[in-house]
Structure 1
Amino acid sequence: MTGPFGETSTTDDVLEGVDLSGKRVLVTGVSAGLGVETARALAAHGAHVVGAARNLEKARKATEPVRAAAANGGGIELVELDLASLASVRACADALIAAGEPFDVVIANAGVMACPKSFTADGFETQFGTNHLGHFVLVNRIASLIKPGGRLVNLASAGHRFSDVDLDDPNFEHTPYTEFGAYGRSKTANVLFAVEFDRRHKARGVRATAVHPGGIQTELARYMTEDLVNSLVSSINAANEKSGAAPFQWKTIPQGAATSVWAAVVAPAEEVGGLYCEDCHVAEIQDNDELRSGVRRYALDPDNAEALWAKSEEMVGETF
């Protein structure tokens, strides 16, 4: 069954009747929230999950429900990964390559959101460096491990609507920094990375897609004050009222992770490859500021995607 599913569908809904026995899935960010639920749902249906996290002790505790739910041969193992350090990213990738065990799916789930201006260990603006460049290096280094017929799922966000990428000033050296402007750039980059990765790998049967999980209250919003959250929700509701859309509602974590697993193992690859999905369906291009759903045209632009790839290679000092 591939649908119909929607904004209230959960991971258990979309995976009902799906047997993932023998599948191997890499999920980044399994120490909280969506990453844990994604891993739980996959392992419960027989998948072997390789969960990546910066803090392994925290991840071990957080993934106890994953081990408890595992069935039909499913399970989880943990690997260390700090996306804000390319040394850590490369060490993780090298270890996975050395192990030589292929993946059916890679879900680039980890990320940070709306943090104060700061920089990664390599001097990149934190949100762009963590959300995009860390995954860019990891995924490209292990791309040979993704089986023909496999998929890459990048967790993007409706937050990509805040900003296109700025390839002339990715580290805000000349541009005034705003938390959501930087978040928007990094989330647009997540979509564009999927677009270009899909173009480069679809000939061998590997497809890539980007997904928006929806608004969920998780640790991702740790830097946001209650007033900021309320202000953001109010602005969304004002836009929704103007466009005739329903008021904003938070998703539960199982609802938020549903689009990730749907795009990873349920939706037909040819229907989601190179595209952006939300609420368990492919989103339409939407340039209307009054509508909160849909994907911005610049986030799917192939020339923009190719330019971001080249700039990312330049920034990390590595060619893929």
Structure 2
Amino acid sequence: MTNAFGAYSTTDDVLAGVDLSAKRILVTGVSAGLGVETARALAARGARVVGAARDLDKATRATDIVRRDAANGGGLELVELDLASLASVRACADRLVAAGEPFDVVIANAGVMACPKGATADGFETQFGTNHLGHFVLVNRIASLMTPGARLVNLASAGHRFADVDLDDPNFERTPYEEFVAYGRSKTANVLFAVEFDRRHKERGVRAAAVHPGGINTELGRHMTEEAMQELIDGINASQPEGAQGFEWKTIPQGAATSVWAGVVATADEVGGRYCEDCHVAAIEDSEGLRPGVRSYALDPARARALWAKSEELVGERF
């Protein structure tokens, strides 16, 4: 398809003229930032949004704008979900399955970034456990609600370029912990999960994609000092191709644009099993540094299957 959108496109640009009044969409992480804007933009076009968040009081306050902007029958329902607790993930999935209402799109938006070494309630390294394993269990448990034509959108990041997954030591039990290596592993896992989910479900008309929203100054970076953030930006600028524009923050509506583009605007065959950025499918780029493009290891089908098997082993559940 011809794509008129790019890095500066907003959610409202991407969804101009789109009617989502027949759609039901799950968005995780609706207590701040990209999750709130994603939910707002979708509900404003008539979608019935189910917003998942760990802190429902915070999410209720943060999503006032979603309810205010909802139109054409659109609206918002909140459900409790703590991705760092598989008991919470399973309880949330069980409630959704028991309700029996189908989903047209699932946007796995929630996550953490560059946090100090820690563990989830189940003992997994915090970033891998929250960003990947929590969504892995949630999405697979509600996959029966995703009817033909439905789509999964995993929020990944250019941060996947920091590191491939480590299937031998996912919890840094033998590897020295580095915040951005852990983040990179979790974001690579988000891409690989989309690749394998797409392979497993495309014959029944359900597709999956991963997206990089761009650099947005949100709560996601709350664990980083100003010095660390500037060092990261300097590193991004140093790694850009010659003549490329330097790093610029995106606004939150610009950051959420690729999620809604991949979820409801782009064709399924265009984005299925792919990694997208700036409202287009990214090219493979194996050069060093944080630059546009996706590293080939994040799209490796064999790696995706191996991660799926390891994830099932870790969570004690087969899908």
Settle same-fold status: TM greater than 0.5. yes
Question: Which residue matches 2:268?
Answer: 269
Q: Aligned equivalents of 1:317 and 1:238: distance in 2?
A: 43
Compute the TM-score of the two structures, normalised by the length of structure 2: 0.99
Question: Which residue matches 2:143?
Answer: 143
SS of match in other structure, 2:239: helix
TM-superposition CA deviations, 1:225-269 (whole Å, max 9, x none)? 0000001001111122x5321111000000000000000000001
1:214-253 correspondence runs (5 A): 214-240=214-240, 243-253=242-252
Instruction: After TM superposition, give the deviation of residue 288 of structure 1 in Å.
Output: 1.4
Q: Is the 8 A contact 1:21 1:45 kept in 2?
A: yes
Question: Which residue matches 1:53?
Answer: 53
AA in 1 matched with 2:276: C
Question: Which residue matches 1:82?
Answer: 82
Question: Which residue matches 2:19?
Answer: 19
Question: Which residue matches 1:307?
Answer: 306
SS of match in other structure, 2:153: strand
Go from structure 1 to structure 2 and tell me whether the alpha carbon gap of 1:239 and 1:197 turns closer, same or farther (over 3 Å shift): same
Instruction: After TM superposition, give the deviation of residue 147 of structure 1 in Å.
Output: 1.3
Question: Which residue matches 1:35?
Answer: 35
Q: Aligned equivalents of 2:238 and 2:25: distance in 1?
A: 39
AA in 2 matched with 1:46: G
AA in 2 matched with 1:164: D
Q: Aligned equivalents of 2:243 and 2:309: distance in 1?
A: 41
SS of match in other structure, 2:261: helix
Question: Which residue matches 1:257?
Answer: 256
Q: Is the 8 A contact 1:243 1:290 kept in 2?
A: no
AA in 2 matched with 1:307: A
Go from structure 1 to structure 2 and tell me whether the alpha carbon gap of 1:30 and 1:75 turns closer, same or farther (over 3 Å shift): same
TM-superposition CA deviations, 1:18-54 (whole Å, max 9, x none)? 0000200000000000000000000000000000000
Go from structure 1 to structure 2 and tell me whether the alpha carbon gap of 1:251 and 1:80 turns closer, same or farther (over 3 Å shift): same
1:163 aligns with 2:160: no
Question: Which residue matches 2:103?
Answer: 103
Q: Aligned equivalents of 1:18 and 1:214: distance in 2?
A: 23
AA in 2 matched with 1:289: E
Q: Aligned equivalents of 2:289 and 2:81: distance in 1?
A: 39
SS of match in other structure, 1:264: helix
Question: Which residue matches 1:283?
Answer: 282
Question: Which residue matches 2:133?
Answer: 133
AA in 2 matched with 1:302: P
Would you identify which runs of 4 or more consecutive aligned residues in structure 1 move more than 4 Å? none
Q: Aligned equivalents of 1:63 and 1:319: distance in 2?
A: 35
Structure 2 regions of 5+ residues with no counterpart? Answer: none
Equivalent pairs, count = 319
SS of match in other structure, 1:250: coil
SS of match in other structure, 2:291: coil
Q: Is the 8 A contact 1:82 1:89 kept in 2?
A: yes
Instruction: After TM superposition, give the deviation of residue 216 of structure 1 in Å.
Output: 0.2
SS of match in other structure, 1:243: coil
Q: Aligned equivalents of 1:196 and 1:2: distance in 2?
A: 27
AA in 2 matched with 1:287: D
1:7 aligns with 2:7: yes
Q: Aligned equivalents of 1:2 and 1:215: distance in 2?
A: 25
Q: Is the 8 A contact 2:236 2:289 kept in 1?
A: no
Question: Which residue matches 2:196?
Answer: 196
TM-superposition CA deviations, 1:141-180 (whole Å, max 9, x none)? 0000011000000000000000000000000000000000
AA in 2 matched with 1:74: G
Compute the TM-score of the two structures, normalised by the length of structure 1: 0.99
AA in 2 matched with 1:246: Q
Q: Aligned equivalents of 1:2 and 1:180: distance in 2?
A: 35
AA in 1 matched with 2:171: N
Q: Aligned equivalents of 2:290 and 2:309: distance in 1?
A: 32
Question: Which residue matches 2:317?
Answer: 318
AA in 1 matched with 2:189: A
SS of match in other structure, 1:305: helix
Q: Aligned equivalents of 1:96 and 1:154: distance in 2?
A: 19
